[in-house]
Structure 1
């Protein structure tokens, strides 16, 4: 009887460990900003190796800021680099409502967001790609940004 309980607990723990993993994520990175200040020089980067350019991917921007963040929006630049060329695109994301209510999910003084950048995106050719995010606001550094990140997921 004791063996069955141990075996059952083992498989329960194993199941919990694997259920927390998203096997479709090929990259998921976060960069903590020094002293909650995101400067132009603090670019968030991730490398992805694409073997099949026929597959579709979703690319997301992840952000956390404090309640003391001064603006209701944020502008960022996404740079997609290969050894041969670089493609850039500017995005604006709304972080708060007109009444000042934050759109993100809150935990204490931090608000968290995951915004789609490129959905159902096909990389043009197989190869190694560098995805790079930089803040594109007038303030440098941009205060009260806790961390920023990039997530790349394969679509089944």
Structure 2
């Protein structure tokens, strides 16, 4: 019976992993004590094998309701396998509705998760490892109540 239980769990894990066929990469990083320092840029590395596909890149943010602002400015830098910078931009993510103060994203109680499309319709021209650097661009150092940040790379539907 013990082996059967292990198989059932393995099948459930495989099913959960395969539920999102568009996802190529997703990683989130917890920020120590919910403080994001300006000099604590987050770095993500992902592999691209299919250069014929088009991709979207999303930013993931977990924040506490005690976050002081309705928005979050982030800077990204995307570098290809040959160390060439492919893109760089400043993004404004709305975490709370500016008029009502209602938290955006999914969550309950005090923590909310927001996933926002940040870089759309990207074509990666070379197979290899791509690196994305994500930096908070607010006027607070540290920026409190940002619990985690991450990225998601997905194929376009």
Q: Provide TM-score, normalisation by structure 2.
A: 0.84
Question: Following superposition of structure 1 onto structure 2, how do residues 43-62 of structure 1 map, counting pairs within 5 Å?
Answer: 43-62=41-60
Q: How does 1:12-51 map to 2 (within 5 A)?
A: 13-21=9-17, 22-51=20-49
What is the aligned partner in structure 1 of residue 134 from structure 2?
133
Deviation at 1:16, TM superposition (A): 2.2
CA gap 1:84/1:15 in 2 versus in 1, 3 angstroms: closer
TM-score by length of 1: 0.84
1:60–1:116 contact (8 Å) kept in structure 2: yes
**Residue segments in structure 1 that go unaligned for 5+ positions in a row:** none
Return the alpha-carbon distance in structure 1 between the equivalents of residues 118 and 125 of structure 2.
17
Distance 2:89 2:141 in 1: 20
User: Is residue 2:108 matched to residue 1:110?
Assistant: no
What's the Cα RMSD here? Answer: 2.2
| Aligned residue-pair number | 151
| Residue segments in structure 2 that go unaligned for 5+ positions in a row | none
- Name which of structure 1's ranges 142-151 and 17-26 shifts more when overlaid on structure 2: 17-26
